[in-house]
Amino acid sequence: MRLSELKTGEQGVVVKILGHGAFRKRVIEMGFVRGRIVKVLLDAPLKDPIKYEVLGYAVSLRRAEAEMVEVIKIQEGDETPDIATHHEEPPAVDEHELPSCSHTIAQHEGHTINVALIGNPNCGKTSLYNDLSGAKEHVGNYGGVTVDIKTTTFKYKGYTFVLTDLPGTYSLAAYSPEELYVRRYLRDDNPDVIVNVVDVTNLERNMYLTTELIDMDRSMVIALNMYDEFRNQGSRLDFETLGGMIGVPMLPVVARTGEGIDQLLDTVINVYEGRHSHVRHIHVPLGPDVEGSVRVLVDMIKAQPSIARQFSPRYLAIKFLEGDSEVDRILHSASNYDELVLTRDRLRANIERLTNEDISSTVAAEKYGFIAGALAETMELSPEQKNTSTSFIDAIVTNKLFGFPIFLLIMLFIFWATFSLGQYPMGWIESAVNWLSTLVGRFMPDGVLKDLVADGIIGGVGGVIVFLPNILILYFCISFMEDSGYMARAAFIMDKIMHRIGLHGKSFIPLVMGFGCNVPAIIATRSIESRSSRLITILINPFMSCSARLPLYVLLIGTFFPSHAALVFLALYLLGIVMAVITAKLLRRFFFHKDETPFVMELPPYRMPTLKASVRHTWSKGVQYLKKMGGIILFASIIVWALNYFPRHDDAIPAQNTGNTIDLSRDSYLEAAGKAVNPVMEPLGFGWRSTVAALAGVPAKEIVVSTLGVLYTNDEAFTDASLSQRLTAPNASGRPDFTPASAIAFMVFILLYCPCMATVTAIVRETGHWGYGAFSIVYNTLVAWLAALAAYQLFDILL
């Protein structure tokens, strides 16, 4: 708990001081060090400040300051348990004065270390996070994979680590949403130790962020990741000297194999305990012109303790000088804000006149100059450090002529693998489902329960679960594309087309991710800086055919077009893309104004994906799919079954007795509803069952197939037939429900219509407005209807 939560008369043992730099130092100087007992003497009339007693003398703290002190409450006269510590005692600030029992307890409880991973996109943060915690977060070889923060807890040498994986950032300016996000995280969550992950093969650029973290004056350790590649190139780095130079311990690690992880954790503990010899606060020099101005502003900010607590005054001063809007907002509450602004403007004008360039460039140039100087003394790059295999592959896959055909071939291969390779395991699961169905038929007594299990549950869930292998294969392929670095190239070659439709190459990655699932894809648009581009990318994402729609394709394509499967797949996916492109163009034209953001996406070197990461990712998707089967799909199947099962003939009789002339005995509720809506869908070649399946698929698109499974089990004559045989069997009117043309129309409709509820929710959440969700529902359904109509009319003639 925090010191501010203790009430008058209560006591606590200090566990740790949050915050940073000057504030932290001052509170520690006042005697609030770990293990000390603090007693609340009294609250001031307005509850602020509060008077405390620390080992014999009284001090007063503002409530806000007391919030930065973490304590454990103790009762007066308590027997404090004597718990032995697991590690050697730190020679920390004057702790020899401590009474031993309170000391031990604070040591024990204070074992929690909050660690945040911060670094550029694609430097291996998530890999490191997975290594450290055994988690299974998704890694990808391009920027912007992690858009949410993830937290995990693990134990190491008696300490509890709370580890947070943050989105990648190049700096801590208020330029992109991620940068703001990371910065707010640093301010509000105050991690004890920052692990700055850097890609050592790209040290110069990666260290720019490091200089900003140094400005912030936080406890920090640098993990030199990708050391394996660096070593293999034959380059060398004297990281001991470099670390000493910048006052931050540095360690080589290989996140991919786990090399160096223990040493990293040991160093984090040492930094946390304040016993690492390298740790000191340096100022990254900004040149005489800027330094003088920064000093003036620092002094003015220091006069405002409530503000200086959020970030170090030096960091605030530099950012304020650069005109950072968020820092401006922070400083707004300062009593000398007007004076600050005047001073800042005067100083900045002066610097810009002297240097003849804008202040941000001057600061960046000075920082890079500092980095270059430090690296010149410590790093020896091998002359042939250029990654030759990467440039060779790039010459082919981003080639003007071959780039697109290769992309299409890769997609075609993926669909072929998804369909053809998937057939074998699919057959096995199918037989298992059939076997289960026979078993139920033989051993369960006839009645409603048997019908529910056989038709509702096995027919519904069993009908969808057979597609698990296809979905796993698709995810495996996507994961391979992402992790190898090809995805970034796909975005690169698409940039031109994306520009034509008023978007950015970066928008392409969320679109391809949409092939897996639209929900994370929509979240991934957070890496797009421009608001209008982001909105458009979100709105067109549902046209990307997600894996939930795959079962329907496999079912219908397997039934009607088995010999051209991969091509039909590709055509469907391309149709989705074309609709997305048209929609994007229309949106840009009529709703959003043009905006140009420069294409600043990195093209990381190709890396062979580790089998472990790919399998892990695929596996987690499989688990997700199975969970969905046991949840919403099961639930929906039962509902659909019940609506289709009732009213029974005997239920219908009383209705007739009361003089009601409508004969309910033939139509179930579902059939009646389906037939009522069906006139709208008839031009598309839909029977009432297809209409019902499409309606039922609104919560989640897998339900389309599970509903077909339930609706087509009722025929007594077909107990042993597969679902695809039942779809092509003649119905009451003597014709089959599905023809090749109506199958295509149905797939087109399901591809394009109203996004599933999870996607609509994601759209509303990410855009911040329900109107966009409503737009998606209406617009997509309309588009779907028109496209399915065109498809049906066309193919009814052709096929």
Binding site for ligand GDP (CB under 6 A): 119, 121-127, 139-141, 145-146, 168, 225-226, 228-229, 254-256, 483, 607
The Cα 789–Cα 261 span in angstroms is 59
Residue closer to ligand GDP by CB (options 253, 577) is 253
Tell me if 756 sits within 8 A of 700, measured CB to CB.
Answer: yes
With the C-alpha atoms ordered 695, 696, 701, 705, is the resulting torsion angle positive or negative?
A: negative
Query: Element (H or E) spanning 225, and its range?
Result: strand 220-225
Fill in the per-residue mask, 202 to 231: x = in contact with Mg ion (CB under 5 A), - = not in contact.
------------------------------
Q: Give the chain's length.
A: 799
Q: Beta-carbon neighbour count of residue 270 at 10 Å?
A: 18
Residue closer to ligand GDP by CB (options 139, 629) is 139
User: Of 125-133, 464-472, 501-509, 593-601, which part binds Mg ion (CB under 5 A)?
Assistant: 125-133
Fill in the per-residue mask, 427 to 466: x = in contact with Mg ion (CB under 5 A), - = not in contact.
----------------------------------------
Query: Element (H or E) spanning 415, and its range?
Result: helix 403-416
Tell me if 728 sits within 8 A of 561, measured CB to CB.
Answer: no
252 binds, among Mg ion, ligand GDP, none (CB under 5 to 8 A by kind): none
268 binds, among Mg ion, ligand GDP, none (CB under 5 to 8 A by kind): none
By CB under 5 A, the count of residues binding Mg ion is 3
124 binds, among ligand GDP, Mg ion, none (CB under 5 to 8 A by kind): ligand GDP
**Residue selected from 126, 171, 201, 637 as contacting Mg ion according to rule CB under 5 A:** 126
The Cα 127–Cα 214 span in angstroms is 24
Residue closer to Mg ion by CB (options 145, 632) is 145
- Give the footprint of Mg ion on residues 144-163 (CB under 5 A): 145-146
Give the tokens for residue 631: 């949840």
724 binds, among Mg ion, ligand GDP, none (CB under 5 to 8 A by kind): none
Give the tokens for residue 198: 């850097």
Identity of the residue numbered 779: Y
3-state secondary structure of 482: helix
Fill in the per-residue mask, 746 to 765: x = in contact with Mg ion (CB under 5 A), - = not in contact.
--------------------
Identity of the residue numbered 251: L
User: Of 120-128, 333-341, 650-658, 707-715, which part binds Mg ion (CB under 5 A)?
Assistant: 120-128
The Cα 729–Cα 726 span in angstroms is 5
The DSSP annotation for 684-748 comes to GT--HHHHHHHHHTSS-THHHHHHHHHHTS--GGGTTS-HHHHHHSB-TTSSBS--HHHHHHHHH
Residue closer to Mg ion by CB (options 80, 127) is 127
20 binds, among ligand GDP, Mg ion, none (CB under 5 to 8 A by kind): none
H-only helix segments in 21-141: 21-29, 63-66, 100-109, 125-133
Tell me if 706 sits within 8 A of 463, measured CB to CB.
Answer: yes
Residue closer to Mg ion by CB (options 606, 792) is 606
Question: Least distance in Å: CB of 708 to Mg ion?
Answer: 39
Indicate the Cα dihedral angle 131, 134, 136, 137, nearest 10°: -50
Q: Beta-carbon neighbour count of residue 665 at 10 Å?
A: 14
Identity of the residue numbered 320: F
Residue closer to Mg ion by CB (options 107, 126) is 126
726 binds, among ligand GDP, Mg ion, none (CB under 5 to 8 A by kind): none
254 binds, among ligand GDP, Mg ion, none (CB under 5 to 8 A by kind): ligand GDP
The Cα 482–Cα 145 span in angstroms is 9
The Cα 302–Cα 406 span in angstroms is 59
256 binds, among ligand GDP, Mg ion, none (CB under 5 to 8 A by kind): ligand GDP
Residue closer to ligand GDP by CB (options 252, 551) is 252
Residue closer to Mg ion by CB (options 483, 529) is 483
703, burial (CB in 10 Å: exposed 0-12, middle 13-18, buried 19+): buried
Question: Least distance in Å: CB of 254 to ligand GDP?
Answer: 4
Residue closer to ligand GDP by CB (options 126, 644) is 126
226 binds, among Mg ion, ligand GDP, none (CB under 5 to 8 A by kind): ligand GDP
Question: Least distance in Å: CB of 124 to Mg ion?
Answer: 8
Residue closer to ligand GDP by CB (options 154, 718) is 154
H-only helix segments in 286-358: 287-302, 305-308, 313-322, 325-331, 337-355
The Cα 544–Cα 756 span in angstroms is 12
Give the tokens for residue 334: 């300062």
- Does the protein bind Mg ion through residue 474 (CB under 5 A)? no
141 binds, among ligand GDP, Mg ion, none (CB under 5 to 8 A by kind): ligand GDP
Question: Least distance in Å: CB of 613 to ligand GDP?
Answer: 6
Residue closer to ligand GDP by CB (options 252, 687) is 252
Binding residues for Mg ion, rule: CB under 5 A, are: 126, 145-146
